[in-house]
Structure 1
Amino acid sequence: MDFNLTKEQELLRDGLAKFLDTRYDLAKSRTAAKTGPGWQPDIWRSFADELGILGATFDEEVGGIGGGAEELMVITDALGHALVVEPYVSTVVVSGGLLQRADASAATELLEQIASGTAVVALASHDDEEPATAARDGGAWVINGSKPVVLDAPLATHLLITARTTDGLGLFLTEFDAASPASGLAVQSYRTIDDRRAADLVFTGLRLPAEALLSADAEGSLARALDEGAAAVSSEAVGCMRKVLTDTVEYSKQRQQFGQPIGSFQALQHRMVDMYMELEQSVAAVFLAILNLDAEPEVRSRAVSAAKATIGRAARFIGQNAVQLHGGMGMTEELAIGHYFKRLTAVQYEFGTTDYHITRYAELTKP
């Protein structure tokens, strides 16, 4: 495996890092997340117009630059380091991946809108108890069921919905407005612990036109999309943990106790070395997952579960120790460390919990 970035990937990394350092203010981002619309639409458009990262992994035919998994890793790592709340993973990685594998003109048109920054797409795929169903009614589809915790739905202009049909798992596309949902769709929006937006959706006879069906058998495509999402948030977590560790080391050099910096205490040095080792293991695991996203399904899923389980353990260890080493200040709104800790906590549950991925990895490695 080649872990070295190409010159083009280095330019992408450096350009994105410079943009986020100079233009993405954490305090402003938190204000928008807590009291505003939940994100910064002007930043999203800049991602498209100035950086081109919204189409970085899309084909050139839809306005992308034809990048792959390595570009995805570079981008998500940088977004995690800056604690970006804009819906990159849900729109570009998960929904974008599904749309790229859907053979429909509507999918192509929506990909172009995503790349240009004019569309935000959320995936409603997790079923609450019973799977959502879609039945034909004349020339339309009628969807019933519920989808809890649809990440970034309150920000979305479009929804991708999975529902069981008589032919298998269907993937449906519809325009969406959380503030004014269509008849047959109830939306309960809320803010998550890490300042993201999500919604619970309930479908009671939602009618969609026949052309809303993008794929009649989306099982394989959905499994890949969820693995890609898990790999992306794992890469994002690496960026978060790198920032958290750096800030903790710097704080230990400044905080005085008994007349000397707490970083001079051997016990705390050992603690920070342990944090560093967890980070390096996470980096290696994410590399393995990213470089296997195009592999056979079983190989891909095994690598992704190994990464997500490793990230789950590391995020918990690094986050908790960073807060502890900062003392009571670690949980305040004034310090960045508290915000990063919340995100690292949430990452442990996105796209499958740590326990889920440990179990899946064990199943996939049975002799």
Structure 2
Amino acid sequence: MDSFNIYTQSDVLALTNQRDGEVKLGEKILTVSNLDEIEKSNAKFVLLGIPEDIGVRANLGVAGAKTAWLAALKSLLNMQSNNFLVGDEILVLGHFEIDEPTDTSLQGLREKVNQIDALVYPIIQKIVSVGKIPIVIGGGHNNAFPIISGTSMGKGNKKMNVVNIDAHADLRNRAEGRHSGNSFSTAIGSGYLNQYQIFGLQQNYVNQNLADEIAASPNIKAFYFEDLLQSQKSIVENFTAFTANLKEPCGLEIDLDGIENVLSSAQTSSGFGLNEIRKILMANTKNYSYLHICEGATELADGRKDSKTGKTIAYLVSDFVKALRPRIYQQP
């Protein structure tokens, strides 16, 4: 049955390559034995994984997103603990165990995504309700919906405002059934998402009806990637200006298929550079309520492989924590 697997310190250390004269993040990162202990932890950031690709397959994509979590966790745990990032700022909570559906038809996969939604949002709600910041590694972008809804509930049912760094809008029709392409339309339609901003949306992936919807909606904004290519301003300057009016509570989504040459179902040769996204995170001044990194893979069902994906995600997690930590720890 579907469940959530809480990690022990032994689980974390088993993934950490210890070496004399060095201290790795895995030796400092915190764990808990049950969900009720999260509130008592000194860590402000709670890391968890959703290793599934059912939502991607339900959107007619290539399977493989389930492979990113463990690779990302290993890479993060084996970074050095130092004055820049000690490790005890982060609590590694664990990951969801999600069974394959017996019905693997498109309808069966989409029904399973509904079940995943119901599994994920209570854990996110619990983390947020005790004042912590979830960092979620996917998995498909279908998980944005339960993350948004769970965060909203954890914030006392306040509507969320979200910026999504992505080549795609993921605003497909809710009537299709749940999949990785309609998390944000589902969140808007369910009343959990207010302002939705897409940074780096690529014109080649936008049908005319969607372009018209974005242009007409006061609550949906897009900064097209093609406009970024022609801008005289830096990526960071454009992102900062684009999100200046994004009000709290707000969330940050990073879809790895928007970054050049990162292995994913929709891998791109034209997109953001990894260092451009790192610069955005390092320059961040927003108190994001969560970070969701999704759609990456180390191995796809069609045989493509890339062992660097885990390290890519680990860079983004460490940058997010480093930028946000000084302000978070100053709060009473």
TM-score, scaled relative to structure 1: 0.28
* Structure ranking higher on relative contact order (CA contacts 8 Å, 6+ apart): 2
